[in-house]
Amino acid sequence: MNPTDRRTVVPPYDPADLARAIESAGATDTNPPPFDPSAYAKIVDADIRAALATDRDTPKTMTAATPLSSATEGEIDTLAREMYASYLASEFPEALMLAEHVVEKEPNHALAQAVVARCRAVIGEVKRSSIVPSSIVRIRIGIGDENIDNLPIDAGSMMVLRHVDGMNDAASIAELAGISRHEALEHLHALLEAGVVELVA
C-alpha cells in the first residue's frame, strides 16, 4: 500500500441509535399537497391548445379560423377556469351559463362544449324562471318610475334596470349597458330574485 494514500475512516456509531432513527423516519406522516380543483381544467385546456396549435392542412372546402388575440384568449381562459370550477362544485346552471359564454367567443372550445352538453343533461331544459340571453324581461307592475330610484339595488343592477323595457332581451340589454352578457345575466337574476323584474309571458 502506498503510504501517500489516504485511508477512509468510518466514524463510530451506535446501531441502536441508527435503528431508532430509521423507525422514526418511517413513522413520519406525509402531508398530501393541497387539492387544486382547477388543476385538471388547466391540463385539459393546455392539451386542447396544443392540439389546436398543431400544424394541419386545412381542406380546400374549409376556411382557416381567425387566430384569437392574446386579450381575448386570456378572457376565454379565465371564463373556462371559472366554468370548470363551477362544474366541479356541481353548480350546473352557473357552469352552463359560463360554458355558453365561452362557446360564444370560441365555438371550437372542446371543453366548453363538453360542459354544455353535460350540464344540459344534468339539469334538463332550462326552467322558465331562469333568464337566458334570449329572455325578455320587464319591470314588475306596481313599480313606477318614481320608485325606481328608491329601490335597494346596487349601481350595476340599476344601470341594467334602466334598459329593461319589456321589449329588449337580455342580450340586447347587455349591449345597451355596455357590459358582458354574463354580467347582465347576473344583474337580471338578482333583480328577478328581488322581485323588481319579471319574465314576459
Please give the average per-residue pLDDT across 118-142, as a whole number.
74
Please give the average per-residue pLDDT across 17-42, as a whole number.
61
Convert the chain into a string of H (helix), E (strand) and C (coil): CCCCCCCCCCCCCCHHHHHHHHHHHHCCCCCCCCCCCCHHHHHHHHHHHHHHHCCCCCCCCCCCCCCCCHHHHHHHHHHHHHHHHHHHCCCHHHHHHHHHHHHHHCCCCHHHHHHHHHHHHHHCCCCCCCCCCCCEEEECCCCCHHHHCCCCCCHHHHHHHCCCCCCCEHHHHHHHHCCCHHHHHHHHHHHHHCCCEEECC
Q: What is the pLDDT of residue 198?
A: 85
Q: What is the pLDDT of residue 175?
A: 93
Q: Where are the domains of the chain?
A: 39-51+69-123, 137-199
pLDDT band at 128 (very low <50, low <70, confident <90, very high): very low
The pTM is what?
A: 0.38
Q: What is the pLDDT of residues 164-187, one digit of tens each?
A: 988 999 999 999 999 998 899 888
More confident residue, 11 or 152: 152
Please give the average per-residue pLDDT across 23-50, as a whole number.
61
Q: What is the pLDDT of residue 11?
A: 58
Q: What is the pLDDT of residue 64?
A: 47
Lowest mean pLDDT, pick from 39-43, 67-71, 124-128: 124-128
